[in-house]
Each structure stands twice: as structure tokens, then as C-alpha cells.
Amino acid sequence: MKHLDIIVKGKVQGVFFRKSTKAVADQLGVKGFVKNEGNGDVFIAAEADTTTMDMFLDWCKEGPEDATVTSIESHEGELKNYRNFEVVKK
């Protein structure tokens, strides 16, 4: 298992990015959360095995249909052992 903090930049708010991220995370078995940042980015904390995480990251680079992802940053972090995947609202 590994933990990644992922920052997605581009047109990623107001395009159902968080809801779509949760659907994909639930389908793949990724645990963690997704939230909008004040600067227009989307922040994702994700935990999964390496293979699953690679598939999840591939999806994050595209996002949902109306999103335009310009870049993605990911940093490994400490495992938090999340129980599920949640959408965090402000």
C-alpha cells in the first residue's frame, strides 16, 4: 500500500471532478478523499496498492469529460489507513 497526495491543475472545478473521482476511486478500491482548493486546483489524498494507484493516476490525468487537466503533481506520504473515499465539501 502507498499514500499519494495528488494536486490536479486546470479546469477541474465545476465539472463534477470530485464526484467522478469518488466514483472511480470506489470502483478501483482506492481509499482517501478529494476536495477543491481555493486556488482552483483539486487535492486528492489516495491510498492503494501500486497497480491500482497507477490506474487511478492515469484517470486523474484525464478527469471527467468536461475537465481540462493541465498538470498533475503527486507526492508520497505517510499511510493514514482511510476506510473509504470521501468528497470533502468546504
Q: List the catalytic residues.
A: 18, 36
**Alpha-carbon distances of 85 from 39, 50, 54, 58, rounded to whole Å:** 23, 17, 17, 18
- Among residues 42, 54, 52, the alpha carbon closest in space to that of 17 is found at 42
